[in-house]
A and B are shown apart, each in its own frame.
Chain A
């Protein structure tokens, strides 16, 4: 007589043990959320002009340079340059940055000048001593948006002051 062996069923729990992993993840997420920096810090690269640039500028050019500048004055922005009639744009002196109307007017004017003078990439932002940093940065943005990718900073009323120029933003 053949003996029937009953195979004993081996019960194995195939479920993954997720609790330790859950514990790690639950500890990790708050830690990362607390230490994460969600604000993106970018930079505008600048440098002061070198002596070589100064000597080159001193040399007499065949045609006078455009020497485009945006002056920040009491309640106006003034766009000036050789062969460019001065253009005034109203400025709110108390504001931290140019308002949307001023930004649009400045942008249109600078775009028109850049289109009329192909190859021009430089513009001086001539700020007053008390001009806010945010306003200077906003004007640099407007100039860059208009295709003048090398805006330079200059202090108004101080000829000896350095004129830092942005390079290859």
Chain B
């Protein structure tokens, strides 16, 4: 009887636990998840989010985005750097290829960029790149007018933002 009791107490000592959780395996999972999220957070190049209401077209192209002036076009408005500058209806109804309010903003932006580059003493030419974030459903005539306006106002290099097809 005594022998059995001592054996049981020995086993209890051996497998005694303080009741704490074993967190190591959970830590492994969380650490892996953290690295995955961090990797997808900045995947290289310029990371950008299209403005609300703009669904970019899908393409198989594989060129990364660069820092630039951004002109977004949705079904109603033309925006530059997040601010509304013109309406699509006005742009379409006009016979001119140039969109005057956008042209004005582009000239201002160009002057500001040149001024900053001069103050910084940059010798290399300032980037003349503009990115168009157009909704997949916009009409070609709107895109054409925006591209023309960009070209004629100091932004001859144009990038069309698209979503990469899976």
- A positions within 8 Å CB-CB of B: 15, 18-19, 21-22, 25-26, 28-29, 32-33, 35-48, 50, 96, 127-134, 136-138, 140-141, 144-145, 153, 155, 160-162, 164, 169
Contacts and interface: CB of A to CB of B under 8 A. Distances in A.
A155 B144 contact: yes
Interface string B48-63: 1110000011111111
Closest 4 pairs between A and B when the two form their complex, measured CB to CB: A43-B159, A134-B136, A129-B141, A40-B164
Contacts of A39: 163-164
Contacts of A43: 61, 63-66, 131, 159-162
Most buried by A among B30, B64, B137: B30
Given A43-B65, A46-B159, A162-B144, A26 B30 contact: yes
Contact of A22 (B27, B47, B63, B144): B27
Interface residues of B, number: 53
A128 B137 CA distance: 14
27 contacts: A21-B27, A22-B23, A37-B41, A40-B164, A41-B47, A41-B161, A41-B163, A42-B59, A42-B62, A42-B63, A43-B160, A43-B161, A44-B61, A44-B162, A46-B159, A46-B160, A132-B138, A132-B139, A132-B140, A133-B135, A133-B143, A137-B136, A140-B59, A162-B147, A162-B148, A162-B151, A164-B151
